Amino acid sequence: MKAMSGLVLAASLSIAGAALADEPSAVGYWVTPEGGSVVQIEQCGANLCGQIVGLRTTRKPGDSPVDIKNPDKAKRDKPICGLMMMGSLTPAKTAGKWEGGWVYDPESGDTYKAEMKLDGPDKLDLRGFVGISLFGRTMSWMRETGENKNRCTPPKAG
C-alpha cells in the first residue's frame, strides 16, 4: 500500500512539475517603449526582478548615463546600465500575471507599485501606479529577438 501511495505521489509531482513548466514566463530580455533600454527579467528567489542590461540610445560607445534623478543623492553618480529597476513581483493567481512589486523610473527618479502581465509570448504590459492600479500607467515592452550589440557591462558588486 505504501509503495502504491508513493507511486501516486511521484506521479502527482511529475504532473505538477509539467504544469509549471508550461506556465507563461516573463523571464528574458525585454525592450522598453521607444526601444531605449533592454531589461533582463529573471527569478529573484520566488519573485521576478529586472535590471537594465542594454542602452540603445547611448550617444557613443562606452557612454553610460548616470542615475542623476535618484532621490538618494549618494546614488546619482551610479550608471543606469546595471540598475535594478523592478522587483518583488510575485506570481498572481492568473497565469502570466505578476503583482505586488515595484518599478523605478530613472527618467523621473520615482518608484511606483507595479504589476505586469504577458499579452502573448512576446509582449509584456507593465503597469506602474500610486496607491491603487487605477492611478497609473501601462507600458508595453516587446521581447528582444536577435542580438543586441548595445549591451552594457553592469558595475561589479562591492
For residue range 65-79, what is the model confidence (pLDDT) as tens digits? 899 999 999 999 999
83 sits in which H/E element: none
Nearest alpha carbon to residue 124 among 25, 37, 15, 52:
25
What span, in angstroms and rounded, lies between the C-alpha atoms of 42 and 36?
20
Is 155 a residue whose pLDDT tops 70?
A: no
Per DSSP, what are the bridge partners of residue 91? 98
Look at residue 10 in the predicted model and tell me its pLDDT.
Answer: 39
Look at residue 145 in the predicted model and tell me its pLDDT.
Answer: 80
Mean pLDDT computed over 1-27: 49
Mean pLDDT computed over 81-102: 96
Residue spans of beta strands (DSSP E) within the chain: 28-31, 37-44, 47-55, 84-91, 97-105, 110-118, 123-129, 136-143
Is 88 a residue whose pLDDT tops 70?
A: yes
Per DSSP, what are the bridge partners of residue 38? 31, 54
Average pLDDT, the chain: 82
Is 12 a residue whose pLDDT tops 90?
A: no
Is 49 a residue whose pLDDT tops 60?
A: yes
* Domain boundaries 25-143, CATH class: mainly beta
Beta carbons within 10 angstroms of residue 120's beta carbon? 9
Residue 143 sits at φ, ψ, to 5 deg, of -65, 135
Nearest alpha carbon to residue 116 among 93, 140, 84:
140
Look at residue 110 in the predicted model and tell me its pLDDT.
Answer: 96
